[in-house]
Amino acid sequence: MKTMTAIAPLVLSGLLGCQPGPAGAAAEAAALAGEAPVAKTRAVDRLPLQPGYYVSTDTPCAKASNATLHVIREDGSGYGGYTTPPYFCRFVRIEQTGPSSYRVTEACESAYGDDEEAPVSVSSYEISSQTSYRAKNGDGWESSSRRCPRRELPALWRESDIGDFVD
């Protein structure tokens, strides 16, 4: 009789099919549909990046140009670039989606201050260190940048007076 008592739970679970709970059912349905399960997110105040000049990873700091350089603001509120026209992107909402992953809602506009409301978009950021990241926006545009000390940049940015904005 001891053997039957030990086997009964196994037989019963086999007959019932080991049903997942509600959370497991959602993950199972997502997996069957070929979708990644939705990660838990939490809102954060800023990305874990040091403020300063950032240059595309495929460009040496000393060769930075308007097209490859942008500045992450000291207050963590966004970043600006020097393309034509110059632009500023304000972080509207930042959500941490993983240990080093973030979903960022951004409002980007021309620095010339036209009267139109800044269009809002969502980008994914993967932060590899406090001085390096990769970003991808909803349109599929991707970029990788790392922080460059001001002293390593071309003269235009080394000599620009932008106050206490960066080092």
- Tens-digit pLDDT profile for residues 12-52: 333 333 344 444 444 444 444 454 555 589 999 999 999 99
Q: Which residues contact 146 (CB under 8 A, 6 or more apart)?
A: 54, 55, 57, 131, 132, 133
Rounded CA separation 29/24 (Å): 9
Which has more confidence, 15 or 125? 125
**Domain boundaries of the chain, sorted by first residue:** 2-32, 42-165
Residue 5: pLDDT over 80: no
Quick one: pLDDT band at residue 7, thresholds 50, 70, 90?
very low
Residue 167: pLDDT over 90: no
pLDDT confidence of residue 115: 60
Please give the average per-residue pLDDT across 119-146, as a whole number: 95
pTM summary value:
0.71
Residue 134: pLDDT over 80: yes
Please give the average per-residue pLDDT across 100-106, as a whole number: 97
Of the chain, the percentage scoring pLDDT greater than 90 comes to: 51
Report the SS3 class of residue 122. strand
Element (H, E) at 14: helix 2-16
Quick one: pLDDT band at residue 113, thresholds 50, 70, 90?
low
Which has more confidence, 4 or 137? 137
Q: Which two tokens stand for residue 137?
A: 């926006």
pLDDT confidence of residue 31: 47
Q: What's the full length of the chain, in residues?
A: 167
